[in-house]
Structure 1
Amino acid sequence: MNTDNSQPEEPENPLRKASRRTSSFVQYSAIGFQMLGTIGLGVWGGIKLDEWQENEKPIWTLVLSLFSIGASLYLFIRSLPKQS
């Protein structure tokens, strides 16, 4: 005889599991596109500034691309869920 009063656990709904997996995929895909857009915008801005100033060396492209990589990593880290 079972003296345990706990309820048996119900199996997880496959649709709920798939929905959670899809939601996670969409979230991280959005973060990837945000990073791509941030870095692309920084590089594009650097190229345009170098063309405008007629620089021999692509100084602005280098500076803005590195800055945009740092900014996209900062945004990525801030978007991660906090673990308590």
Structure 2
Amino acid sequence: MLTLFMKPKKSPFEKKPVNVYLKYSQLGLQMFLTIGLCAWLGYKIDHWYFEGKPIFFIILFLLGAFGAFYQFYRQIKSD
């Protein structure tokens, strides 16, 4: 009777579904694009208004990195 309520053991050699790999590769791509887009935007703003001084580049790069890692943390924690 107890065996009816127990979950069957899974083999450690069982293949993981493909969507797990896609989910984690999507997270890496999302982080790369977020940081890259913020850095590029900061570079362009600095080039147009501050004649090459990297003020906005540094600020937006750090904000993009913080936002990307925060989003990564939220996605991993929800799984």
TM-score by length of 1: 0.71
In structure 1, list runs of 5 or more residues that go unmatched.
none
Q: Which runs of 5+ in 2 are unaligned?
A: none
- The alignment yields a C-alpha RMSD, in angstroms, of 2.6
Classify 1:55/1:30 alpha carbon distance in 2 versus 1 (closer, same or farther; 3 Å).
same
* Partner in structure 2 of residue 28 of structure 1: 24
Whose radius of gyration is greater, 1 or 2? 1
Cα deviations by residue, 1:42-74 (Å, 9 ceiling, x for unpaired): 010001000110334211101100110000011
Match among 75, 78, 84 for residue 71 of structure 2: 75
Shift of 1:31: 0.2
Secondary structure at the aligned position of 1:18 is classed as coil
Secondary structure, counterpart of 1:80 in structure 2: helix
Partners of 2:46 and 2:55 within 8 A in 1: yes
Amino acid at match of 1:75: Q
Pick aligned residue for 1:61 from 45, 57, 63: 57
**Structure 2: distance between partners of 1:62 and 1:81:** 28
Counterpart of 1:59, as a letter, is: I
Give 1:47's match in structure 2, choosing from 43, 46, 57.
43
Query: 5, 15, 19: which is aligned to 1:18?
Result: 15
Q: What percentage of aligned pairs have identical amino acids?
A: 29
Stretches of 4+ moved more than 3 A in 1?
Answer: 4-7, 9-12
